[in-house]
Chain A
Amino acid sequence: MVNRADAIVVGAGVVGAAVAAALSAAGRRVTVLEQGVPGGAVSGASLACIGTHMMDEEELPLLAWCCDAWAALDAQAPRFEYSRCGQLRFLKHDGERRSAETWIGIERAAGLAPELLEPDAVRRIEPELTGPIVAATWSPNSAVVNPFLAVRTLLDAARSGGAGIVAGAAATRILTAGGRVAGVETAVGRFEAPLVVIAGGPWTQDLAATAGVDLPIVPRKAQCLATVATRPVIRTVVGACKAEGGVDAGYTQIQQAASGQVLFNTVLEGGVTAAGGRDSVPEVDRAFVHDSVDTLLFLFPRLAALDLLRSWVRYEAVTPDDRFLTGPAGPDGLFVAAGDGGTGFVRSLGMARIVADRIAGKESPFRDDIYRPDRFVERAAA
């Protein structure tokens, strides 16, 4: 079987789906290849918070653009439970105030409107957060989306632009001819196209290697828990303040999905343990379960009798500087967009825009040089 398209996107996670939608919108005939279930890997396990708060100073313009792009997508296809619920990041110790204020200053300078709230004010926003916090930052523009429906919406947009989605097709090799990309070989046959975008999450480097491209992506274990559905309790996205040694130098994310399930995770320093293959999907770590439940009940003690329903584990793609590898790589016509560092949901639309702009020979509305896939090679050489 031979299939021809203008462009092939490998991977139907949120990044691949966004790239497919962007290329379709630009009039290209796209084929999306997915080895498993579309959205079934990291994207389907995501808490999918869309925000700018305490992320990365240099990426702020891109992140702000992404937040607007998600809002625009919701306006156009309101079927992925988009909700601009805002985000709180709690402080457990007074020592974390300095870091909180620094972040607020940076974000305000970029035109955003975060603030630092005392516990009373926090409780006006999040009434059941009755735990003994000392303060919390508040970023009103953060949103959440349903990750499965968001991927489905993007794939739907791609399909309405003529894209085909082939699930159960693992790409095994990049095909080249005369130094240019010619397509990919898969378990279900050969697919031909002059453009190939690898958006394969933590598997990207394997396929890239078949075209002689060496990508510094390593898989990192990410875990999450869900309770059974309950009455509306949590209104915002609740996280821990990013601070040197703050909230035990870990991170926390707690939110309630539209389904009523409370989704949460906390990783404390030293809590990230047990390695495992990214393909075998191990169980959650015991210490992780404990720390996550402990933090949830510290903040929301009234949830103590609520039932835990499920846990899951995925491997995120991590790069040395925690930024995506997005742009052209190796032979002409080959592009990559991967290396999410654990917050790729929000960035996916921006990464898609970079790929689409590069292919069209246009400039992106934000800087794209910090994502260049070859940046580490150059640094090593220097």
Chain B
Amino acid sequence: MRRVETDILVVGGGPAGLSAAIAAAGAGARVDLVDAGAAPGGQYWMQDPVAGATSQQAAEGSTAIASARAAGVAIHSGAEVWAAFPGGEIMANDAEGPITFQARSIVVASGAQDRVYPFPGWTLPGVMTPGAGQRLAKLGKTAPGRRIALAGNGPFLYAVAATLASIDATPALLVESGRARAAMLGLLARHPARIAEAVSLIAAARAVPDWRRGHVVTEALGEERVEAVRIAPIDERGTVDTARSERIDGIDALLVGWGFRPMIELTALLRCRHAYDRALGGWYCVASPSTGLTSVEGVYAAGEVTGIAGSRPARLSGTLAGLSAAAALGFESAGMEERRKGLVRALASARAFGHALGRLAPPPDGIADLARDDTIVCRCEEVTRGEIVAALAEGTRAVAGAKMWTRAGMGRCQGRICGSAVAEIAAAETGTSPAAAGFNPPRIPLRPVPLDVILEATRGSAP
């Protein structure tokens, strides 16, 4: 088995992880970076292994990857971290089998994934997340459909509209829950540097022939696959007014999502402190705004795992965490303190913008109630909302209780997909908050790993 000893292990090769690796290696530390993707880049800097960098984002990413390599970062692509054992051993596996890392410090930059809430028809073929649709468009230049409906919240929808437009697949319908135009303008006025980007994103949304603000998709309809959607407005009290719903036909792909959820699996396994904020994606890892250090010694976190804020804070927090981790191990250089101070200021401002954006358009309250009794909530174990509600009525509670009594969250994805919805259903049914409902704690292995790989990885008499 391969064993790698290093100063700093960076987990995640998106903007945050790459920035951390570049900064730490630049300071003189030995750095290894593990990323699950076929090529580093993460979401924002996603690299198309076939077509190469065809967008500005991808080009920025390939520059960052080249800088990391030039700085001496050892990049392990297609490698997923699945365990952390006491004594600082981190285990990953790639196509060739297990690798064990023994690092003095670790920077977790595991990013985020689409946040979804179940609704009738969401398991029909043709329904996917905006992130998945964007990935299809970015990686294979494939359109998810001919008449695409794009739905959910936040400016990410506009970014997806822009990506789809770039492959001549402009959506037919954009359904957005928010309508806070004035607030958005106010926010941009406070962050004028973001205006140009906003203008181009809004242009992408404008290009969609049918753009509904203040609406949500309440149902996907179709026999074999999605053929139509039902949408409904959100009333003044912020609740979905299903009495005024409307059916829109001729849809063959529905991309629906509610922003992102931080991928806290590794930070949770490492026992870092986490906090809950629905507008920042739910549970996120708490990291010091001045160093990126988590509540656990030697463990830093950067990027979306510390709360959804976007690619700019991801880069800045990555650099900051990389420098701080290196400095803590004694790799300090002249001018480093000044640079860190500048980063802390820039990060605070970039995060403030990202968080404000998140607060402008959180998922509407009661969004998990769109699911009907017979709607599947946990797709892995095929558990319906009705089964979860019945269990809660019979005396169990919280995410853990719903899991024990119904198996929701016990399948292959371990609740990564249904977790937010189960928490909100449990909270609504038992009169508590989603934060109090908790989350399904990740355990070893973080991702499914073949038994023979596990056997080889755990051989020997180490701790």
Contacts and interface: CB of A to CB of B under 8 A. Distances in A.
B401 A159 contact: no
A233 interface: no
B405 A165 contact: no
Q: By DSSP majority rule, is chain B's interface helix, strand, loop, or mixed? A: loop
A303 B395 contact: no
Nearest to A158: B395
Interface in B370-414: 381, 391, 394-398, 400-401, 404-405, 407, 410-412, 414
B443 interface: yes
A284 B444 contact: yes
Contact of B455 (A44, A148, A297): A297
Interface in A20-59: 36-40, 44
B243 interface: no
Interface in A277-310: 281, 283-284, 286-287, 289-290, 293-294, 296-297, 303-310
Contacts of B397: 37, 167-168
A37 B401 contact: yes
B404 A39 contact: yes
B445 A308 contact: yes
B451 A304 contact: yes
A228 B413 CA distance: 10
A229 B411 contact: yes
A283 B400 contact: no
Interface in A300-358: 303-312
Nearest to A45: B404
B448 interface: yes
A381 to B, nearest CB: 42
A259 B451 contact: no
A186 interface: no
Interface in A118-162: 148-149, 152, 155-156, 159
B66 interface: no
A289 B458 contact: yes
Interface in A236-266: 259
Given A308-B451, A311-B444, A228 B414 contact: no
A290 B461 CA distance: 10
A286 B462 contact: yes
B398 A37 contact: yes
A309 B405 contact: no
Residue in B86, B412, B458, B461 whose Cβ sees the most chain A Cβ within 10 Å: B458
Contacts of B49: none
A172 interface: no
A306 B455 CA distance: 12
Given A228-B412, A259-B407, A283 B443 contact: yes
A37 B455 contact: no
B449 A308 contact: yes
A359 to B, nearest CB: 23
Contacts of B86: 274, 283
Given A167-B395, A294-B455, A311 B407 contact: no
Nearest to B447: A307
A176 interface: no
A227 interface: yes
Contacts of A294: 455
Contacts of A44: 404
Contacts of A312: 443
Given A36-B400, A38-B401, A286-B458, A307 B444 contact: no
Contact of B85 (A286, A296, A308): A286
B458 A306 contact: no
Contact of A38 (B395, B407, B414, B463): B395
Interface string B411-449: 110100000000000000000000000000101110011
Contacts of A39: 396, 404-405
A225 B441 CA distance: 15
Given A259-B381, A293-B458, A303-B451, A310 B394 contact: no
Interface in B75-123: 84-86, 89
A332 B249 CA distance: 72
Interface in A200-227: 227
A206 to B, nearest CB: 21
Given A159-B394, A165-B395, A286-B458, A307 B450 contact: yes
Residue in B394, B395, B455, B463 whose Cβ sees the most chain A Cβ within 10 Å: B395
Contacts of B401: 37-38, 40, 167
Contacts of A305: 450-452
B405 A148 contact: yes
Given A37-B397, A228-B412, A290-B459, A306 B451 contact: yes
Interface string B137-179: 0000000000000000000000000000000000000000000
Residue in A39, A290, A312 whose Cβ sees the most chain B Cβ within 10 Å: A290
Given A39-B404, A304-B450, 19 more contacts: A38-B401, A39-B405, A40-B400, A148-B404, A148-B405, A155-B394, A156-B394, A165-B395, A283-B84, A283-B269, A283-B444, A290-B454, A297-B455, A303-B451, A305-B450, A305-B451, A306-B450, A308-B445, A310-B410
Interface of A: 12, 36-40, 44, 148-149, 152, 155-156, 159, 165, 167-168, 227-229, 259, 274, 281, 283-284, 286-287, 289-290, 293-294, 296-297, 303-312
27 contacts: A37-B397, A37-B404, A38-B404, A40-B404, A44-B404, A148-B405, A148-B407, A152-B391, A155-B394, A155-B395, A167-B397, A227-B451, A229-B411, A229-B412, A259-B381, A283-B86, A284-B443, A286-B462, A289-B444, A293-B455, A297-B455, A305-B451, A305-B452, A308-B450, A309-B412, A310-B445, A311-B443
Interface of B: 84-86, 89, 269, 381, 391, 394-398, 400-401, 404-405, 407, 410-412, 414, 441, 443-445, 448-452, 454-455, 458-459, 461-463
The 9 closest A-B pairs by CB, nearest first: A307-B448, A290-B458, A165-B395, A37-B401, A304-B452, A148-B404, A293-B455, A167-B397, A44-B404
